[in-house]
Amino acid sequence: MNLTDFKALTFDVYGTLIDWESGMIAGLKPLTDRVGADLSRDAILEAHAFHESTTQRHTPAKKYSELLAVVYKRLAEEWGVTVRWDECLAYGKSVQHWPAFDDSAEALRYLGEHYKLVVLSNVDNVSFAHSNAKLGTPFHIVYTAEDIGSYKPAPANFEYMLANLKRLGIEQHEILHTAESMFHDHAPANAFGLANCWIYRRHDKEGFGATMKPAEMPKYDWVFNSMAELAAAHRNELER
């Protein structure tokens, strides 16, 4: 199997292309500055992962910006801080400020010359529009949780994507699912029999950060520490 065998790259965005962990830490600072105890970066991210995934599971149709507001409220309660709802709503809108990884836009520009670039993201359309602009608006097709009414790792999200791509003439074996999150993306990709590429942004860190730990470690067909490495590997295949 070669990288050049595929017609489409389907992407998780947050954690893979957008540095959501840095965005979360910055967006939560008004809250974490008021917590009496010291909180490590990983402790903040792990608490966020729990409340985000729990809220996604219980209210799958809630828009991501509204869901993040609930996460902020739950975190404040866990850390013993009183917050106003307008503060929670402000955090819900913070996705627009989350930065792109330095290599994402250039790698996507290159890869877009060779593949259909497809988004399958746990986000709402307004929030994604800000991120898309940061990435240079490279995507040909965008499927969001708001479109589907549920959040990954729910099978419905992958079923929706695969059914719609099939209508566009892209078969399952022609898709390479490309993502950082083992929990949200690689576990369901395994379940659907999709080829997958792990962009291991947390290669120099412990744990799973802003995502839940999967029940079992999924398998993957490729692993790169950055999008730049993926683009370079594709170039190398073409040159051989």
Annotation marks residue 102 as catalytic: no
Alpha-carbon span 73 to 85, nearest angstrom: 8
Alpha-carbon span 172 to 162, nearest angstrom: 7
Tokens 């995507």 -> residue: 139
The DSSP result for the chain, as a single string, is --GGG-SEEEE--BTTTB-HHHHHHHHTHHHHTT-SS---HHHHHHHHHHHHHHHHHH-TTS-HHHHHHHHHHHHHHHTT----HHHHHHHHTGGGGPPBPTTHHHHHHHHTTTSEEEEEESS-HHHHHHHHHHTTS--SEEEEHHHHTS-TTSHHHHHHHHHHHHHTT--GGGEEEEES-IIIIIHHHHHHT-EEEEE-TTTTSSS-TTSPPPSSPPP-SEEESSHHHHHHHHHHHHH-
Q: Active-site residue among 12, 19, 124, 185?
A: 12
* Catalytic positions: 12
